[in-house]
Chains A and B, each alone.
Chain A
Amino acid sequence: MEKLTRHLKEIDTKKVYEPIHSGKEEWPVFRMARNRKAFIDQVTKETFERILKMKPTLNGLIEELETTRYREKLRIKNNPWKVDPEDELDFWSNVKKRLLAIDQEQKDVARKQAKDILYDIIDRYSNEIAGNFKSSHYKLARKIVKFGFARLLNAARIGGFKALFSNKYTLQDKIQLTGEAEQLRKLAKLGTIVMVPTHFSNLDSITLGWAIHSLGLPPFIYGAGLNLFNIDIFAYFMNSLGAYKVDRRKKNLIYLETLKTYSSRAIRYGAHSLFFPGGTRSRSGRMEDRLKLGLLSTAIEAQRINYQEKAEGRQNKIFVFPVVLNYNFVLEAPSLIRDYLLRKGQERYYLEQDEFSKSNKIISFLFKFFTKGSSISLSIGRGMDLFGNYVDEEGRSIDDNGQHVNTRDYFIYNDEITTDLQREGEYTRMLSNRLVKEYHRINRVFASHLVPFVFFEMLRKRYRKLDLFSLLRLPLDEVEIEYSEFRATFDRVRDVVIGLFNEGKLDLANHMVEDLDEVINMGVENVGMYHSKRPLIKDKEGNLTSQDLITLYYYRNRMDGYDLEKYI
């Protein structure tokens, strides 16, 4: 085995982090919730001004209102959800009436009428988006997660009725936190944190919620897909964890601007935020290689406005923390990857139901998760400013060449802070590229990622004339790989991966440097262990084969982007 020249991270599962604030009164999210109504009003007003600036002419404004109304009507008709409010249709019919009543001959009156309609729409949206954080709910939800999970865990591990009350195992044994936890805690006291994790599973929000709490941090606010609020159990957790609602069906300008203003204002308020910058769960199983720029841009805007409106000082600084979540098993993997392949447009798959759509399914999953030996790893990257420079423990930005950077300078033109949206758009793009790189760097490689990768690529090499879709349709008796052959290849690739680790280009789970056969075994046993069809198994002769190549492909994709294919 290749030698390690860098230390693997030690994971202290018993480490206890004291809360960084003495009471909830100090939590920004608590203060925000207490002033909820005023906050929503500010969001509405700011969005209103923004849109008027974007649509300066009366005709343009009316056109925008018409388009919005039309799209909303279509949405209500074609794609209604359980969470949708009942008065929706009435509201939009009323908008229609009011729009028809506008008399364009009288410019001033018409302008006022149109502005009023705009204001009402925005106000409706911002009320809809706003989170409903209640600290009592938060406490309860936290207890449920902590207590419930701990009970399950102990019951499973120790066994017997008495075990239900044992405290031998905690969630910390399941979720391994690595990386810059201390720095995150320090900077959360100093400025505002924007956490940007990769997104693989609906479980991510819960995992992150738990992690944030265990690190002694106040709750973060984050945008959760409105579809999750369709499920009661999720809705409860989301609301109590400080989530605001993002409705992906609404793509109209007014809604998107309201959403961005909400996020921007919350950050300026000092509320730590969490975005999934990939937008949705990764369909392919790949780590995010392209990020959605909308919400990221609100952080950059918030930083600029902080500098414009507030006194100089690091308390107004926004720190970005990339986070990578690693699972051995992603419940939704089979349907996500089928959805991905469908989108690629070559196969006509029947789209299965979302596994998370039923509460009982989630519970049975959680039970499986806690009763069987599977772990999650959560790697926290180094803190950065919004321009991709790392920051030190005191929150000072330092560039690659060791120079201190005043981030205010990024907004300066001729000695003044200027508002230049095109410039900020470019900064957003730069940040997004930087984050993608950082994800790959802090990604903790598991045996359950590398084993499927090597297996799949060996198959691909064996059938190099087949395209991906034909390969995925191979009869399963054609996919056996002899163990000794696999072992030799895996050995080689693992050495390359260790080399990459030594160069700081990725992170390794501690088990990766164990005895070769053991690592392979771990990979085979853990990858997608609870799927009814296992992506990878050992057959009677001890050779490797698959029961579900498509899901195997999903897990394989996790190792994309490191250029490892050529070592197969």
Chain B
Amino acid sequence: MTSKNTFERPVGVVGAGSFGTAVANLLAKNSKVYLYARKPEVSEEMIRTGKNADQVLDKNVFPTNDLKKVGEECQVIFPVVPSANFRDMIRQLSEFIRPYHILIHGTKGLNVKGDRAKENDFRGINDDDVLTMSQLIRQESLAVRIGCLAGPNLSHELAEGQPAATVVASYFDEVIAEGQRLLRSDLFQVYGSKDLIGIELTGVLKNIIAIAAGALRGMGYGENARSLLISRGMIEMVYIGRMLGANAQAFLGLAGVGDLVATCSSNYSRNFTVGLRLANGEKLEDIEATMDEIAEGINTIRIVKNLMETKKLRAPITETLYKVINNQMTMDEALKLLMKTPFSIDVEFI
């Protein structure tokens, strides 16, 4: 299925945040990579310094500001931009996208149709209003061979060349094979999955739990509390995920439990950091003002909370965090409330 051609073709990465940069560096081990930045000054800076987001760029990474070049020269493109900008990005890119393109995204967020995202007002939203990034790509472009990237992939560890693994999920075997071929290296393992929606949702939903984990750390609690959160959080993730069309299996894999453990333990995770600072009494607006990149978990909490409300279902951790980020409750009160929530059965979804 693969031919010599592909090896000469550059691979595109759209979005030069810390994860996008890390992905570009991983890909650079096997191919020439175009790393696209929306702002011309960012790509110029990258070319000038050979660095981006605290990472040294591989010599195979070629920063660019030319989306046309990426679309026309690359058959495989990795979009890695925050969910809030994803629709705009894909709209600009779609002009150059043909049905033979392979798009493997690495964005762990959700999109809500229409203008509601701007107002952060998601009241009354329904299943149909909420899109994962693969669904968004499908809606906004001609691409059909779509996949996603998910797993415990903290950018700074990848940048240091530490061993790690990821999951490439797609309905198309060829997308999985291509993702594996492009990303795999001595210290980086790539697993495949056919449950695209499931794998996307594990990555999305784990951010909620990561915020809660950061909060526990901020309040000075230890391993018992965190393990309690991880396992209860896992169950909440499965419930929400199943409601949105995922299978429980995806949550048991690398992209589910694997990523959850990583983000719930690391100070380097943005979502974790937000939780930690919230627990220290900072207001969300102030936290967001001082962060370089968006913490997807916040938006996910807003969307999921409203969606569960429409469906008259409960998601205790998400609901409580929603109150905290809206200044209706402190983290301390939230924890006390959660500890009182009655759960009689440990695991019942398998």
Q: Which residues of A line the B interface, CB within 8 A? A: 387, 399-401, 403, 405-407, 409-410, 412-416, 418, 420, 422-423, 426-427, 429-430
Please name 18 further chain A to chain B contacts, defined as beta carbons within 8 Å, in addition to the given A400-B139, A414-B75, A423-B145, sorted by A numbering: A387-B99, A401-B94, A401-B141, A403-B95, A405-B99, A405-B142, A407-B99, A409-B98, A409-B142, A410-B144, A413-B1, A414-B3, A414-B5, A415-B5, A418-B1, A422-B172, A423-B173, A426-B171
Kindly list chain B residues whose C-beta atoms are within 8 Å of the C-beta of A400.
139
Complex alpha-carbon distance, A407 and B99, angstroms: 8
Residue of A nearest to B102 (CB): A413
Contact count band on B:
20 to 34
Contact at A423–B140, with CB atoms within 8 Å?
Answer: no
List 6 A-B residue pairs with CB atoms under 8 Å apart, sorted by A's residue number.
A401-B141, A403-B94, A412-B99, A418-B1, A423-B172, A426-B171
In this complex, what residue of A is CB-closest to B98?
Answer: A409
Given contacts A409-B100, A410-B99, contact A399 B142 (CB under 8 A): yes
Report B-chain residues with C-beta under 8 Å of the C-beta of A412.
Answer: 98-100
Q: Are B1 and A420 in contact (CB under 8 A)?
A: yes
B249–chain A nearest beta-carbon distance, Å = 20
- Return chain A residues, CB-CB under 8 Å to B95: 403
A423: chain B residues within 8 A (beta carbon): 145, 172-174
Q: Could you tell me the distance between the alpha carbons of A261 and B82 in the complex, rounded to whole angstroms?
A: 47
- Which B residue sits closest to A412, measured CB to CB? B100
Complex alpha-carbon distance, A52 and B171, angstroms:
27
**Closest residue on chain A to residue B9 by CB atoms:** A414
Rounded to whole Å, the gap between the CB of A304 and the closest CB of chain B is 13
Partner of B173, one of A409, A422, A427: A422
B100:A426 contact, CB within 8 angstroms: no
A436 to B134, CA, bound (A): 21
Determine the chain A residues whose CB is within 8 A of the CB of B3 once the complex forms: 414, 416
Q: Per-residue CB proximity of B119-146 to A under 8 Å, as 1/0? A: 0000000000000000000011110110
Tell me whether B6 is interfacial, beta carbon within 8 Å: yes
Given the interface pairs A406-B98, A410-B100, the reply to whether A422 lies near B174 with Cβ below 8 Å is yes
Q: B159-176: which have CB < 8 Å to A?
A: 171-174
Determine the chain A residues whose CB is within 8 A of the CB of B171 once the complex forms. 426, 429
Of B3, B139, B144, the most chain A CB neighbours within 10 A belong to: B144
Query: Which B positions have Cβ atoms within 8 angstroms of A?
Result: 1-3, 5-6, 9, 75, 94-95, 98-100, 139-142, 144-145, 171-174
A-B pairs with lowest CB-CB distance, top 7:
A412-B100, A409-B99, A410-B99, A422-B173, A414-B5, A409-B98, A409-B100
Given contacts A405-B99, A420-B174, A422-B172, A414 and B6 within 8 Å (CB-CB): yes
User: How far, in whole Å, are A345 and B142 apart by their CA atoms in the complex?
Assistant: 43
Which chain A residue shows the least CB distance to B139?
A400
Q: How far apart sit A415 and B139, CA to CA, in the bound complex (Å)?
A: 24
A426, B172: Cβ atoms under 8 Å? yes
Query: Please, which residues of chain B bring their CB within 8 A of the CB of A387?
Result: 99, 144
Question: Once the chains are docked, how many angstroms separate the CA of A497 from the CA of B9?
Answer: 52
User: What chain B residues lie within 8 Å of A418 (beta carbons)?
Assistant: 1
Interface centre among A387, A416, A426 (most CB of B within 10 A): A426
> Which B residues are CB-close (under 8 A) to A415?
5
- Least CB distance, A219 to chain B, in whole angstroms: 33
- Across the interface, name the chain A residue whose C-beta is closest to B4: A414
Q: Shortest beta-carbon distance, A565 to chain B, in Å? A: 15
With a cutoff of 8 Å between Cβ atoms, the chain B residues found around residue A427 in the complex are 144
Minimal beta-carbon separation of B114 from chain A (angstroms): 15
Q: How far is the CB of B104 from chain A (nearest CB, A)?
A: 15
Residues of B within 8 Å of A430, CB to CB, are 144
B244: shortest Cβ distance to chain A, in Å?
A: 17
Question: A43 CB to closest chain B CB, in angstroms?
Answer: 28
Which chain B residues lie closer than 8 Å to A416 at the CB level? 3
Please indicate the chain A residues that have their CB under 8 angstroms from the CB of B145 in the complex: 423
CA A427 – CA B75 in complex, angstroms?
19
Q: Which residue of A lies closest to B94 (CB)?
A: A401
Partner of A401 from the list B5, B100, B140 (CB cut-off 8 Å) is: B140
B293 smallest CB distance to A (angstroms): 29
A429 to B196, CA, bound (A): 15
Query: Could you tell me the distance between the alpha carbons of A401 and B141 in the complex, rounded to whole angstroms?
Result: 8
> For residue B139, which residues in chain A have a CB less than 8 angstroms away from its CB?
400
Closest residue of chain B to A407, judged by CB?
B99
Chain B residues with CB under 8 A of A399: 142
Min C-beta distance of B95 to chain A, whole Å:
8
Nearest CB on B from A398, distance (A): 11
- Within the complex, the shortest CB–CB distance from A19 to chain B, in Å, comes to 36
Q: How far is the CA of A400 from the CA of B94 in the complex (A)?
A: 12
Are B100's CB and A413's CB within 8 A?
A: yes
Q: How far is the CB of A386 from chain B (nearest CB, A)?
A: 11
Report how far A414 CA is from B9 CA in the complex, Å.
9
Docked complex Cα distance between A423 and B175 (Å): 10
Closest Cβ–Cβ distance, residue B278 to chain A (whole Å): 38
Nearest-neighbor residue (CB-CB) of B178 within chain A: A413
A420 vs B100: C-alpha distance when bound (angstroms): 13
Q: For B94, what are the chain A residues with a Cβ–Cβ distance below 8 Å? A: 401, 403
**Cα(A431)–Cα(B5), bound, Å:** 30
Q: How far is the CA of A330 from the CA of B241 in the complex (A)?
A: 41
- A561–B74 Cα distance when bound, in Å, is 41
Q: Taking CB as reference atom, which chain B residue is nearest A417?
A: B100
B126 CB → nearest A CB, Å: 10
Cα separation A427 to B6 with both chains bound (whole Å): 23
- State whether A413 and B174 are in contact (beta carbons under 8 Å apart), knowing that A387-B99, A401-B94, A418-B1 are contacts in the complex: yes
Shortest B93–chain A CB gap in Å is: 12
Residues on the A chain within 8 Å of B2, using CB: 414
- On chain B, the residues within 8 Å of A413 by CB distance are 1, 75, 100, 174
Chain A residues whose CB sits within 8 angstroms of the CB of B6 once the complex forms: 414
CA distance A403 to B144 in the complex (A): 15
CA distance A164 to B75 in the complex (A): 68
Residues from chain A with a CB closer than 8 A to the CB of B5 are 414-415
In angstroms, Cα B139 to Cα A166, docked, is: 55
CA–CA, A422 and B145, complex, Å: 12
Please measure, in the bound complex, the distance between the C-alpha atom of A387 and the C-alpha atom of B143, giving whole angstroms: 11
Distance (Å) between the CB of B2 and the closest chain A CB?
8
Cα–Cα distance between A151 and B171 once the two chains are bound (Å):
55
Residues of B within 8 A of A407 (CB): 99
Chain B nearest Cβ from A505, distance in angstroms: 12
- Give the residues in chain A near B9, CB-CB below 8 Å: 414
A378 to B184, CA, bound (A): 54
Whole-angstrom distance from the CB of A298 to the nearest CB of chain B?
A: 20
Q: How far, in Å, is B63 (CB) from chain A's closest CB?
A: 25
A420–B140 Cα distance when bound, in Å, is 25
| B140 nearest in chain A by CB position | A401
In the bound complex, what is the Cα–Cα distance between A418 and B98 (angstroms)?
16
Interchain CA distance A42-B75 in the complex, whole Å: 37
- In the bound complex, what is the Cα–Cα distance between A295 and B251 (angstroms)? 35
A309 to B2, CA, bound (A): 21
Which B residue sits closest to A414, measured CB to CB?
B5
A407 to B144, CA, bound (A): 12
Complex contact A403–B142 (CB within 8 A): yes
* Residues of chain A contacted by B174 (CB below 8 angstroms): 413, 420, 422-423
B345 to chain A: closest CB distance in Å? 26
Residue of B2, B9, B95, B172 ringed by the most chain A CB atoms within 10 A: B172
Q: Give Cα A387 to B145, complex, Å.
A: 12
Q: How far is the CA of A406 from the CA of B98 in the complex (A)?
A: 8
